Amino acid sequence: MISHKKVEEYILSLPNTRLDYPFGENTAVYKVHVPYQSTIATPADGTQGDGEQRTELYGKSTAKEQSQPTTPQAAASTGGVSSSAGKQDSARRGDWKMFALVAEKSDPVRISLKCDPVLATRLREQYETVMPGYHLNKKHWNTVVLTGQLNWVDVSDLIKHSYELVTNAQ
């Protein structure tokens, strides 16, 4: 069987990823930072694609950002644990988008991954350990139980596929 530690180490080795617990301590959520494109309206831009940018929001944090813990110790004490806490020295414009969720303390490990809808259906038909995403959009997410039916190469490929769907969907 594939361990939670092995899955987590692989996921966090992907560029611009972090671990977060927005749904509580029982669900590890892995997110990737996806920068805003200049042709897409952002909260600071105000308009879409006209080239005009408003800069008064740069460097200012929102109320939500101000309430976020700034150190790993503070994050742990509030229950909003984030592996990126205290590591962001400068503001980066964009969104943190989830691409993998792992049920903590689940044996065997259960991981939910974003997936192309056609591939998602095919995987569910082929493997009994691949199911529609638990508490997620069933068309776009699969939950995979890591019993050994899929080997590590297959699982890591599915993780990478999920990561690429999110990072390329800008």
Domain boundaries, the chain: 4-168
Q: Say which CATH topology domain 4-168 has.
A: Aspartate Aminotransferase, domain 1 (3.90.1150)
- 3-state SS, residue 41: coil
The encoded tokens of residue 92 equal 């980066």
pTM comes to 0.69
Mean pLDDT by 10 residues, the chain (170 residues): 95 97 96 77 44 35 35 39 43 82 95 97 97 91 97 98 89
CB atoms near residue 16 (< 10 Å): 15
Q: Residue 158 has what DSSP assignment?
A: H
Say if residues 75 and 81 touch (Cβ distance below 8 Å): yes
Q: Are 29 and 141 in contact (CB under 8 A)?
A: no
Q: State the Cα torsion 7-9-15-17 to the nearest 10°.
A: 80
